Structure 1
Amino acid sequence: MDLLLLSNSRNHGQSFLAHALEEIDGFLGDARRLAFVPYALRDHDGYTAIIAEALAPLGIEVVGVHTGADPRAAVADAPAVFVGGGNTFRLLRALRTTGVFEVVRHRVTAGDLRYLGSSAGTNLTAPTLRTTNDMPIVEPPSFEAFGFVPFQINPHYLDPAPDSTHMGETREQRLTEFLEENDVPVLGIREGGWLRVCGETATLGGANGARLFTRAAEPRELAPGADVSQLLATRPRYDSPA
């Protein structure tokens, strides 16, 4: 299995994907064409155009899966797929209703499709979307996601701000609530970072590192470059079927 999972698509003060272009280039290797899944945003054409422009300097051809009569065919014929960010609930519902979900899951699991995800696209590589940050603006058939990794991921992770006067829950509190009901690690990846999974190896990349949340334990700080391969042996336990 070959995965590159970005926390975010754009860093403050930088153009789209600029912070990760070198990593994306190396990840794709000789695959100079990818199928782009724009379903997390409403404007599929506009989103695809943004990705095409961002990856043009690498000589990568971007084909939106929505442009053909059968979006499954675009994924079935591509050496790599990029599942972009936006609303995770909308993305999962569209993947299910178009049938793209099954094609992506089968090919990635079989090892013949490289998977690049960002934000919502990264969320869906976990067993469920239960640790996403966004609102359920639509209702997917279930919370079950691809399950390419056996643990949960929280992209755009934000550390608690001790001096903040905001009285709402922090991200740490929300993830702690998740762990009260579910016994599965959560990897909170800060913006500018990513997770690279190659076979049985998982490594943190980019800037700012991550925090690892597990039940009945203090969150653990992980630096960029950390080997987190042990998480691939996770045996998740949820409060009910996803």
Structure 2
Amino acid sequence: MKLLLLSNSTAPGHDYLEHALDEILDILGTVRQLVFVPYALADHDAYTAKVADALAPRGVEVTGVHTAADPAAAVREAEAVFVGGGNSFRLLKALHAHGLVSAVRERVADGAVYLGSSAGTNMACPTLRTTNDMPIVQPPTFEALGLLPFQINPHYLDASPDSTHMGETRAERLEQFLEENDITVLGLREGTWLRREGDRLTLGGTSAGAVLFRRGQKPEEIAAGRDLSHLLTLPAHFDQR
């Protein structure tokens, strides 16, 4: 299984996907065509064009899955699938509506490359329940693709001592999640990503790193470059209280 899961698709001072282009090309290998899933945003054509513009200079051809008469069939024939960011509730609802949950799972298990950014990264988890998004629509279930046995919180933000915000910090919200769900959560800071190839999982990107949350344990700082393959052996279940 080959996965590249970005916390964010745009980094400060860079064009769309620019900060991760080398990593994207590396995991694609010889693949030069991918199917893009734009359902997290409302304008599917414009979103697909944005991805195509970013990847065309590197020789990668992008086709929007929404243009296919049968989106699930298009995914099953793809060498690579890129699920873009946006609203994860809208995205998951569309994935279920178009039969793409099983189609993506099966195709990735058969060797296709899976690229995700933000909401697309959330989709690789067992469920979307560690998203940061507002539930603007209601998917039939919170069950996502389950390409990993743990949860991810993209765009993870550390609390600022100078902030006047009086609501929960991101860390506090994830600790509340763990009070109800016994499953590991990895908070990906901006500019970072996870890369999986077979049974090997590594944290890449900027030196910002990530934070690992587990029920009953203190959050653990994870440095960029660290091997996280042991997380792939975790049980992919929720022990809800």
Aligning the two structures, in what range does the TM-score lie when normalised by the shorter sequence? over 0.9
Kindly indicate whether the alpha-carbon contact (under 8 Å) linking 1:183 and 1:236 is maintained by their aligned counterparts in 2: no
Kindly indicate whether the alpha-carbon contact (under 8 Å) linking 1:9 and 1:16 is maintained by their aligned counterparts in 2: yes
Report whether the alignment pairs 1:26 with 2:26.
Answer: yes
**Whole-Å Cα distance in 2 between the matches of residues 24 and 239 of structure 1?**
35
Match of 2:36 in 1: 36
Match of 2:4 in 1: 4
Match of 1:172 in 2: 171
Kindly indicate whether the alpha-carbon contact (under 8 Å) linking 2:183 and 2:239 is maintained by their aligned counterparts in 1: no
Q: C-alpha offsets along residues 141-178 of structure 1, whole Å, 9 cap, x if unaligned? A: 10001111000000000011122111011100000000
Report whether the alignment pairs 1:108 with 2:108.
Answer: yes
**3-state SS of the aligned residue for 1:90?**
helix
Report whether the alignment pairs 1:154 with 2:128.
Answer: no
Match of 1:206 in 2: 205
Q: What is the identity, as a one-letter code, of the residue corresponding to 1:51?
A: V
Match of 2:195 in 1: 196
Residue 70 (structure 1) shift: 1.3
What is the aligned residue count?
A: 240
How do 1:7-86 residues align onto structure 2 when only pairs under 5 Å count? 7-86=7-86
- TM-score with structure 1 setting the length: 0.97
Q: C-alpha offsets along residues 107-158 of structure 1, whole Å, 9 cap, x if unaligned? A: 1123x21100000000011101110000110000100011110000000000
Report whether the alignment pairs 1:89 with 2:100.
Answer: no
Kindly indicate whether the alpha-carbon contact (under 8 Å) linking 2:33 and 2:79 is maintained by their aligned counterparts in 1: yes
Q: C-alpha offsets along residues 71-120 of structure 1, whole Å, 9 cap, x if unaligned? A: 1222122100000000001000001111122111111123x211000000
**Whole-Å Cα distance in 2 between the matches of residues 93 and 239 of structure 1?**
24
Moved over 4 A (4+): none
Task: Note the residue ranges of structure 1 that are not aligned, 5 or more in a row.
Answer: none
**Whole-Å Cα distance in 1 between the matches of residues 236 and 65 of structure 2?**
32
Residue 239 (structure 1) shift: 4.2
**3-state SS of the aligned residue for 2:195?**
strand
Match of 1:135 in 2: 134
12-21 vs 65-74, greater mean Cα deviation: 65-74
> RMSD of the TM alignment (CA)?
1.2
**Whole-Å Cα distance in 2 between the matches of residues 161 and 219 of structure 1?**
17
